Every structure is written in C-alpha cells, then in structure tokens.
Amino acid sequence: MMMCFRKLTLSLVLTLPLVGYAFPTEKEGFNLVGHLGNLSPYQKAPVPNGIKEELPGDCKVEQVMLMHRHGSRFPLASELPFITNLVSKLSNHSSTIQKLKLEPELEFLKSGYVSTLGHDDLTGPGRKQLFDHGVAFRLNYPDLQATSILAGLQDRVVESAQWFAEGYFGRSWSGLNSTVFSTIPEDSATPSWITPSNTCKGWQYAFGNNLTIEWGTLYIPPITKRLNKLLPGVNLTNDDIHGALYACAYDLAAHGVSPWCNAFEQSEILDFEYELDLLMVGAFGYDLPGKMGPVLGALFVDKLIQRFTDTSSSAQQLYLEFGHDTTIDFALTALGFAKDTPLLSAKGPVRANRKWRTSTQVPFAAQMVWEKFTCSSSFKGPQIRLLLNDSPFPLSTCKKMDRKFGSCALNDFVEVNKASTSISWGDSTWNSTCGN
C-alpha cells in the first residue's frame, strides 16, 4: 500500500518465509504466516483444483508482462505509532509485569519487548524476496530478452526493482546499455497504471478506510479484554492491541520472527486478516463506490491488452514493472476476478468463504505474471494466461476458458474486457468517476 491513511489506519504487512528464517511455530497446524493479508510474507498461491501448472510441450511463451509488488517493508509511518505506543506502555509497566505469573505465550514480556522497526522502507527479507524472484524469472523465461525495467517512483519500489535486476541480470546490470531503467512518478499529476488512484480526486474522498475502522471496533475489543485479563494492571488499549497485531506482522517482515504472533488465537489472526482484506477491497477494490474500482483498474488492463495485441516492432518480449499491492488489486477488480457477491461487509462475522484474499493475491513481493503463448497443436492462435504468485489464476471471465490450464484465447480475453478498453484516463467515464 502506498499511501498514508488518515486516522485509525490499519495496515498490514507480513514477511517472508524463506529458507533460513525462523517462523512462528504453527499452533495446531495453523500456519499464521499465510494469514496476514497483504502483510503476509511472499508465498506461492494455492494451485486451483484441476488446473495444470505446466503448459503443453508444443506451446511457447512469446511475451510476458510482470507487475511486481515491492518486497516486505517496515510499517507505514501511519502504522508505526501503534507499535511504539505499545512498547512505551509495556516499558512503563515493566515492574508490574515482572510480578505477574504469565502464560507461556506471554512469558517473553518479562525480558521486555523492544522494537527497532523503521518505517516505509524495504527490509532485509524484502530484498531477498526480490533477488530470488529475479533469479527465478531468469530461469523461467531463458529465451526472452528484457530491455527495460519500470518502477513506480517510491523508494521501496525502486529498491525492489533494483534487487530484482541484480538477480535477473547480475551485478553489472546497471551498465547494460540495452536495458533502460526508468521510473514513473507516483503523484497526483501523472496518469499511471501503477498508481491509478493518485490522479483520481474522487478516490481521496471515497476510499473505504471506514470499513476497517468499523471492523476494528468489532473484533479488537474482545482481544483487548482477553489479554488484559492475562496482564492485570497493564491496561492495554484497543490501539495497543492493534499495535501488537502489527508487531507480529512487521517483526516477521523485518526479522522473520515475532514473539507477538504466538500471543494471538487462530480466530484473532483470522479477524485481523479480514481487516486487511476489508481495507484493500474498500480502498482498492469492489467496495469503492459505483464503478470506481473497475474504472481505476482499467488503466492496467488497457496496458496489458495494448501490449499483447501490438504487432509492431515496438512490442517488447518482456515488460518488467514494479508497483504495489494496490496496483494488483485494482487490476483484479477491473478484470472481475475474486469478486464477492454481496460485497464484503464490515458488519461481521468474517466471511470465511470469501473470494477476495489479500494473503494469496498480494503478499509482499507479489508477482502478477501475464503470459502470451502460441502452440503448434494444442491451441489455435495466441493464448493468454495469468500466473499470480507462481500459480495459475483461471481467467474465468473469458467466454471459453480452457479448464485444464485456466487460459483462454487472446481474442476472447480482449472481447470480454471491452469495458476496460473503452475507458481511458481523462475521458468522460474517468472524469465522472473521479469528479475531475
């Protein structure tokens, strides 16, 4: 997420579980790391039932468009105070805590909980995620040639693109003349498919921070009550508990481990995950008013279709681009994927069977990879498929999706996305949606 939320913001981040990192123990088989919403560390998404990951042997990928989220980061500046206030509160009550008989999962408080988290920037594990993905991309598409890299102009995004490039090209990549590294501003004046909402004034007013505030007032107080019973005299507030949930996610993002993660029940983590989903669907997805979500996401879909249907010599084999969870969530919204009917609501309870899942859609270092491929016999004409976080994501809105591969004919894809391609930045639809 790229912007600061006003007031009570909840944000979310989690970190990555890569070799060499200690993750919190799984309580009763529950893997918390996969349930931290858009604060989850990178992980491969589940492969949908019955969908094959490998294309048939007679098919060849000809063009790829990668939209990569930045890797694990520190909390946003707006989120950090929740953690620092918690730390201060605990420190002020350290003598009380010393005298308490604590449950094993809170025992760590006796030695004091300190935090050295920064804010906004990429973390060590975040750097590793991007480097690893650069290497993997090289191995996945050995025959395709990259000639450019584009990053949204924000430090953690630019740094992410750089680490990816180190893994993909090697250490001398910045001297490669054939590869152009460029950035695109993330401001309110520059139309961009990476940050479409930045140029939409109406979005500033509409974005659904409300959902998360509403849900927070429902799910956090019972946790506060439970933990205050275990920590008499410390008097934790709801904001402190929010801070402790952030501490779990962001310690993981920065250090690979957090004592706080074990302090929560499975259902409490699932409630937190729902908060993160509500935030993203409310501010960058279907719960925005009217057609705002699809209209903003249309900029990405237009770019994709324009490139994959470009038969001129300016078409590139690979497009390597770096942005945000919000970029991917807007795109999914324009494409009509992961849509819940009725819309997700903050009135509770958690909609357990919901389709919108930021834990699998947009963890840190999420990768949305679009492939255009042709086959000598399996399919006629150019085909398209989506790999979201290393697993096929079925293009279910196509008229004739292939059930084995989740792919469809490029023509079909173009046809069913006409609503997006009929919209462009600054046209009458855009203006009426954004109140320009």
Ligand X SMILES: *[C@@H]1O[C@H](CO)[C@@H](O)[C@H](O)[C@H]1NC(C)=O
Residues that bind ligand X (CB under 6 A): 85, 88-89, 92, 175, 177, 206, 208, 210, 235, 237, 426-428, 431, 436
Q: CB 81 → ligand X: shortest distance, Å?
A: 10
How many residues in total does the chain contain? 436
CA–CA distance, 76 with 120 (Å, rounded to integer) = 5
Whose CB is nearest to ligand X? 177
Q: CB 407 → ligand X: shortest distance, Å?
A: 36
CA–CA distance, 132 with 129 (Å, rounded to integer) = 5
CA torsion sign for 59, 64, 69, 72 is positive
How many distinct helices (H) and strands (E) make up the chain?
14, 8
Pairing of strands 383-388, 391-392: antiparallel
CA–CA distance, 107 with 100 (Å, rounded to integer) = 10
Residue 314 or 428 with smaller CB distance to ligand X: 428
Q: CB 366 → ligand X: shortest distance, Å?
A: 25
Residue 32 or 90 with smaller CB distance to ligand X: 90
Q: CB 88 → ligand X: shortest distance, Å?
A: 4
Tell me the one-letter amino acid at 246.
Y
Beta bridge partners of 357: none
* Strand (E) or helix (H) holding 373: strand 367-375
Tell me the one-letter amino acid at 111.
S
Nearest to 208 by CA among 297, 286, 273: 286
DSSP at 169: H
Residue 240 or 273 with smaller CB distance to ligand X: 240
CA–CA distance, 312 with 426 (Å, rounded to integer) = 26
List the structure tokens of 201. 């004034």
Q: CB 249 → ligand X: shortest distance, Å?
A: 20
Beta bridge partners of 367: 68
Q: CB 182 → ligand X: shortest distance, Å?
A: 16
Residue 376 or 436 with smaller CB distance to ligand X: 436
Residue 29 or 175 with smaller CB distance to ligand X: 175
List, in sequence order, every beta strand (DSSP E) within 18-82: 59-69
Residue 283 or 338 with smaller CB distance to ligand X: 283
List, in sequence order, every beta strand (DSSP E) within 153-188: 180-184
Kindly tell me the burial class for residue 178, based on how many C-beta atoms sit within 10 Å of its own C-beta (0-12, 13-18, 19 or more): exposed
Residue 206 or 408 with smaller CB distance to ligand X: 206
Residue 43 or 199 with smaller CB distance to ligand X: 199
Q: CB 4 → ligand X: shortest distance, Å?
A: 16
Q: CB 428 → ligand X: shortest distance, Å?
A: 4
